[in-house]
Copies of this chain bind each other. A is one copy, B any other.
Amino acid sequence: MITVLCGGVGGVKLVDGLAAVLADPSTLTVIVNTADDWEYLGLSISPDVDTVLYTLAGLAGDERGWGIDGDTWTALEMLKRYRLPTWFRLGDRDLATHLARTQWLREGRRPTEVTAALASALGVVPRVLPMTDARVATFVSTPAGRLPFQEYFVRRGARDPVTGVEFEGIEHARPSPEVLDAIRSSAVIIIAPSNPVVSIGPILALQGMRDALSASAALRMAVTPLIGGTAVKGPTVEMLRGLGMRADSAAVAARYGRFIDVFVLDIRDRALRDTVAAAGPPAQPPAVECADTLMTDPAGRRRLARALIDIAARHGIEVAATTA
């Protein structure tokens, strides 16, 4: 069993690569951030979960990072005519996902069950788990005020300096039983190259999650979301800096601290090996490994997935992969 903790965009590329190279993709579990879930036009929208589902179902475009490739905008054009806000771009097929989720939640199913039903209908083989069944909502503090995450991220294009991040509801949110079970029974846990603040941050901040990770016998790896001090996509660097942190792999390794055994640095940053190791907890510094973490195409996703499987093997955990 391999379990990946991830948000949208960046992390999901690695998930996609793993699903492609694992001999049995059903041994893959993905724990997905849901702190940027929100309600829009009465629809329960779970952007990161949907990105994971669409990607694993082969429905996502390679680079846009959200929605369904080739989706149409017929309903959206009509919503525009009704002068409803349309900055959150709901495609017609995507809309059906939100209608289904909203309907099933209204019927009393847990987000975990709803996600499983969506995944099954889309033919997704790996197990996709929302990080919690509780409601958590990310807000960011900016000079323009305190903004719900999607307002900051989508509507305003992630251009506001972020001076604070809050996960509303996190103090009452526990990982779902399915998430705890996956953490407990995994041989390898991978923190994906997602935004460490707003994607991985909420997952690690769930009540009991750090204890579960500490107690896990798995090999725990984290993949850097930064290459040469910049993020491939998204506001990771600006966000880390705004929160008063250094924006480099060492700061990310320090952030994950004692929850990781291995930190995977990008090969272009191999000179930072010692700095990163030193950033970990003194009593338990992470092993630092290097890999090409830039996933510019499906081959790049698979290449990184194979590299992680090789790293796991070097640390004594054998994972069955397809032959390249």
**Interface residues of A: mostly helix, strand, loop or mixed?**
helix
Q: Is A154 part of the contact surface with B, judged by Cβ < 8 Å?
A: no
Q: Contact check: which of B81, B84, B93, B102 meets A42 at CB < 8 Å?
A: B102
Which of chain A's residues 29-80 have a Cβ closer than 8 Å to chain B? 41-43, 71-72, 74-79
Q: Which residue of B lies closest to A91 (CB)?
A: B74
**Complex CA distance for A72 and B281, rounded to whole angstroms:** 58
**Complex CA distance for A92 and B93, rounded to whole angstroms:** 9
Which of chain A's residues 191-243 have a Cβ closer than 8 Å to chain B? none
Digitize A117-128: 1 where CB-to-B-CB distance is under 8 Å, 0 elsewhere: 110011000000
* B-chain residues with CB within 8 Å of residue A41 when the two chains form the complex: 99, 102-103
- The verdict on A96 contacting B121 (CB below 8 Å), with A42-B42, A106-B42 known, is no
Q: Is A180 part of the contact surface with B, judged by Cβ < 8 Å?
A: no
- The verdict on A42 contacting B96 (CB below 8 Å), with A81-B121, A83-B121, A121-B83 known, is no
B72, A84: Cβ atoms under 8 Å? no
List residues of A whose CB falls within 8 A of some B CB: 41-43, 71-72, 74-79, 81-84, 92-93, 95-97, 99-100, 102-103, 106, 117-118, 121-122
